[in-house]
Structure 1
Amino acid sequence: MATTSDDGEPARATADREIVISRVIDAPQELVFEAFTRVRHLSRWWGPEGFTTTTRSFEFQVDGAWDFVMHGPDGTDYQEWITWREIVPPQRIALLHGESRDDPNAFESVLTFEGAGEKTRIVMHTVFPTKELRDEAVEKYHAIEGGEQTLNNLAAYVAQVARERSTARGPATADETMTEQEIGQDGTVL
């Protein structure tokens, strides 16, 4: 028997462990999805306002990983690790996100990309292992505000890329043809 809430909707066993953030972005679905698939894009928008990202390694494929450091505006470094669990271009990415490969407190996220003409609705649905970890992420690390700021950064970045691509005539620019192997030893994009 399914459990339902007071309003008749099915109750979710994970509701007290979830964060769901969404935004409509003024860019096509394929471009918004692409912004997650290449480190050269991620390094330009990933993270809340004032943060920067240095990539150590990046392999965008199922069971591949993104090992990176987020640098806070106060100088604090945050070690991060994402393992890609599912990739369905250009509609869905599932991932496991923690501080390291075997982080017992890692959380699961599913990102969905729904195209509507030249716009895309992105939904980030995150489930933490416990309610306490979810509450800590919200209260101590401001996960909701940070997630909203991250999607704002994504929106601004892909709008800029879309403008640049629409004004470019002729062959692709060097930036558009750069590969993931063009990462310096310190993790910066060359």
Structure 2
Amino acid sequence: MEPIDSRSDARSHFIPASPAQVFAAMQDPDRVARWWGPAGFTNTIHRYDFEPGGSWLLTMHGPDGTDYPNESRFTRIVPDQLFEIEHLHVPHFLLTLELLPQDQGTQVRWRQSFDSVADYQRLAEFVAVANAQNLARLTAEVLRGEADAV
């Protein structure tokens, strides 16, 4: 198999909240529906069995009205530390989010790994923009959640 670095979009993003606060936005399907996906997308979550081996079924609704059915399964979950899914539709990928505590917040390490370099390269430009937007939306949801808690 080709080296993971050559077939992955990897990025790191700081969120000024604790790992527990970030993880809370990942485990609640109502909150996930608000932040998942690129800017302009909305989501309908049909199933969210948040446990290793659990199923995640959703439809992403593009800004142009196109629906994108998605099916994933949770492969690893470590509360306040790790969230990993296997995306079962084409394109097939593994997405890992690691939450690392830092002063005044959490460093989120995001890695979306495709089956091959060719699969990744076909989508690399879109994935880079979409993943950056996804992390920005996660940050906004975490901070919104904290404002709601006050």
TM-score scaled to structure 1, two decimals? 0.74
Is 1:161 equivalent to 2:140 in the alignment?
no
Alignment of 1:165-184 (within 5 A): 165=149, 167=150
Runs of 4+ with >3 A deviation: none
Matched, 1:115 2:81: no
Counterpart AA for 2:69 = Q
Among 54, 57, 61, the residue aligned to 1:71 = 61
Does the CA contact (< 8 Å) of 1:28 and 1:117 recur in 2? no
Q: Distance in 1 between matches of 2:56 and 2:103?
A: 30
In 2, Cα distance between the equivalents of 1:61 and 1:124? 19
- Distance in 2 of aligned mates of 1:126 and 1:44: 20
Task: Tell me the secondary structure at the aligned position of residue 97 of structure 2.
Answer: strand
Please tell me the residue identity of whatever aligns with 1:79: P
CA distance in 2, matches of 1:48, 1:82: 17
Whether the aligned pair in 2 keeps the contact of 1:52 and 1:70 (CA below 8 Å) is: yes
Normalized per residue, the structure richer in strand is: 2
Aligned mate of 2:4, from 7, 10, 14: 14
Q: Is the 8 A contact 1:29 1:118 kept in 2?
A: no
What percentage of aligned pairs have identical amino acids?
29
Larger fraction in helix: 2
Question: 2:24 matched to 1:34?
Answer: yes
Q: How far apart, in 2, do the equivalents of 1:124 and 1:146 lie?
A: 12
Report 1 or 2 for greater relative contact order, CA contacts < 8 Å, sequence distance ≥ 6: 2
| Contact 1:18/1:126, CA 8 A, preserved across alignment | yes
Q: Which protein is bigger by CA-based radius of gyration?
A: 1
In 2, distance between residues paired with 1:72 and 1:88? Answer: 30
Out of 72, 76, 81, which is 1:91 matched to?
A: 81
Determine the C-alpha separation between the residues in 1 that align with 2:12 and 2:71: 22
**What code does the residue aligned with 2:79 have?**
P
Q: Letter of the aligned partner of 1:82 in structure 2?
A: S
> What are the ranges of 5 or more consecutive residues in structure 2 without an aligned counterpart?
none
- Which consecutive unaligned segments of at least 5 residues does structure 1 have? 1-11, 168-190
Kindly provide the amino acid, as one letter, of the partner of residue 130 in structure 2: G
- RMSD across aligned C-alpha pairs, in angstroms? 1.5
| 1:55-75 CA-partner distances (Å, limit 9, x unpaired) | 111100010011001111011
